[in-house]
Amino acid sequence: MRPIFTLPLAALLLTGTACTTMPMDTVTNVGEPNMVAPILTSADAVDSSSYAQPQVARVTHVALDLALDFAGKSLGGTAVLDIAARDEAEAIVLDSNGLRIDLVTDGAGNALDYEIGAMVAEGGKGAPLTIRMGDARQVRIAYRAAENAEALQWLSPAQTAGGEHPYLFSQGQAILNRTWIPTQDSPGIRQTWEARITAPKPLTVVMSGIAQGAPEDLGNGRRAFRFEMDKSVPPYLIAIAAGDIEFRALSDRTGVWSEPSMLDAAAAEVADTERMVVAAEKLYGPYRWGRYDMIVLPPAFPYGGMENPVMTFLTPTFIAGDKSLNGLVAHELAHSWSGNLVTNAVWADSWLNEGVTSYFENRILEELYGKERAEQEAALAFANIEDTLAEVGNAPGTALYQPENVDPVGSAIIYDKGAYFLRTVESIVGRERFDAWLESWFDRHAFEPATSAMMLADIRANLVRGDAALEERLMLDEWVYGPGLPGNVARPAADAFAEVDAAVAAYPASGPVASARWASWNSAERQRYLRGLPQEIDAAGLARMDRSLGLTQGTNNEELFLWLNLALANRYDAVVPRTETFLANVGRRKFVAPLFATLMGEGEWGQPIARRIYARTRPSYHAVTTGTVDRIVNGS
């Protein structure tokens, strides 16, 4: 997933370092799936965000048969779960949040007793679903998701580009999939899955699995779509989208879906995808998922991207017309190794997904577009870290490992500090040696969960190899468990933005940068300039800058966001209409939440504007976005 406002975290405090697995000779399984991933049993791998007890009984495979109900904004059907369990286990505990359970049976159709426990609304943990399965090792659950389940966003035709048909998409990370799938919703409990989904014509369904043949016409105005994921994945990566969408092939193994009116622009923006896959494989080994397709969703999607296997979900806000923001595609592709292939066992270790991926993303960009662009992107990331540390100091949340009793401070730590940790290790041991180690890390733990302790142990075993001087130079524990930035950080090139930084330093004496120079800069340089400007600029200065650079009418959403945020912080009335349009047409939390926060911070001037806009735009946002903005605007 590309940087977000904050991440939900759920894990136990680290109390041990050695990770062990549940030995498979202690379990029995019916309906053997293609892959059964190990369960980590060390204290730091216990997921407090899940009710599951996988050491006793765990889900290995999920088979869904669901019907989409756009009128009722819900879906329902059956989930058949294959279970691996200790011989003496008589019950399995699943995660559920708002699911209506109609019937539970074993594989032979015999009814099974079940119980839904007490609901924990805070944090979205939901309630445990305990099924007394006896000696059965397969259970069938007939159920229905609640209307407007948090993982699902049902869009009316008016909320789509085409305006004729409704749309559905899901967002499962971190623990939202328990609102529509009854399973053990923990990243450390990997599962294979298959699905049969029915939807009304003419809608097309895609999922994060390989499509199995052509849609089946059911003769009742509906079609059935089948999918399979034969590689074990963490359950948050089971994803679905349905709407008036079309496909454009980019290569034999890559392609993009979107609404028809957006398809040309989407395909042009992701045209380099096959080159990115080739670059990624050159760096860290073969792409193991078969196809790499993407879908550009409607603007309500709350994130930049989501790395669902074989079907990356993308926000349309990255479409700039010049590929300047396609680092997003590189990031989500890199997750095919870091995050999807090797997954954080608990959310306290989410830097293992996002920090490693952010480092990998930068290496892909360097392979395709050269050292200069990669260094500029790295410098922007480093500025994110510095800004965060300037705001919160060396708070506990600035460590990479973030247990549940630590308040997260935003994406600059798990994404950018995580990337700089690997960048620093690379700078010390050398790129060739580092790359060989990272590829071997992916190989050793392919399709398995991992923890911070496991990665540090792997670095020590395969890079340090008993070299005490190297161990001291790397400062491994300080990076992962300590706050702030260790002193050995490999900083970005000092001259990455030399021309831009000079222009910032010259402001306001020389006025805004010349329009010709602005036009010659790439997006990273423009973002650097907007970020570097003084936080206080009067209305006359803002107006002069806007006239010269055309900022309010800009079409690059990263740049437009920075401009609007700066102008709103200075109570510049002229950008209010553009802000309202922007917030009405963009649901990406990275943009939406800070803009509302800025408005609410401007007292009697900004708060009425924020409340007026939010009353209008809230129905168009995903629950991920409203969950944050509700607290900002309403304090709830």
Active site residues: 332, 415
Q: How many CB atoms lie within 10 A of CB 488?
A: 15
Q: Which amino acid is at 153?
A: Q
Helices within 393-417 (DSSP H only):
411
What whole-number distance in Å separates Cα of residue 381 and Cα of residue 419? 9
Q: Which of 350, 345, 307 is nearest to 448 (CA)?
A: 345
What whole-number distance in Å separates Cα of residue 447 and Cα of residue 181? 21
Taking a C-beta distance cutoff of 8 angstroms, is the pair 230, 195 a contact? no
129 exposure class (CB count in 10 Å sphere: 0-12, 13-18, 19+): buried
3-class state of residue 258 by DSSP: strand
Residue appearing with tokens 């370092």: 17
Q: How many CB atoms lie within 10 A of CB 34?
A: 12
Q: Which of 355, 340, 83 is nearest to 209 (CA)?
A: 340
Q: Which of 214, 216, 245 is nearest to 311 (CA)?
A: 245
Tokens of 94: 């699943």
Q: How many CB atoms lie within 10 A of CB 384?
A: 19
Q: Which helix (H) or strand (E) holds 501?
A: helix 498-506
What whole-number distance in Å separates Cα of residue 92 and Cα of residue 79? 15
What whole-number distance in Å separates Cα of residue 428 and Cα of residue 439? 17
3-class state of residue 50 by DSSP: coil
Taking a C-beta distance cutoff of 8 angstroms, is the pair 452, 349 a contact? yes
Sorted by sequence, the CB contacts under 8 Å of residue 62 that are 6+ apart come out as 79, 80, 81, 82, 181, 183, 191, 192, 193, 194, 235, 238
Q: Exposure pattern of 395-417 as b/e (b: 16+ CB <10 Å)?
A: bbbbbbbbbbebebbbbbbbbbb
Q: Which amino acid is at 122?
A: E
Taking a C-beta distance cutoff of 8 angstroms, is the pair 319, 296 a contact? yes
Sorted by sequence, the CB contacts under 8 Å of residue 448 that are 6+ apart come out as 37, 38, 190, 342, 343
What whole-number distance in Å separates Cα of residue 408 and Cα of residue 396? 8
Taking a C-beta distance cutoff of 8 angstroms, is the pair 623, 150 a contact? yes
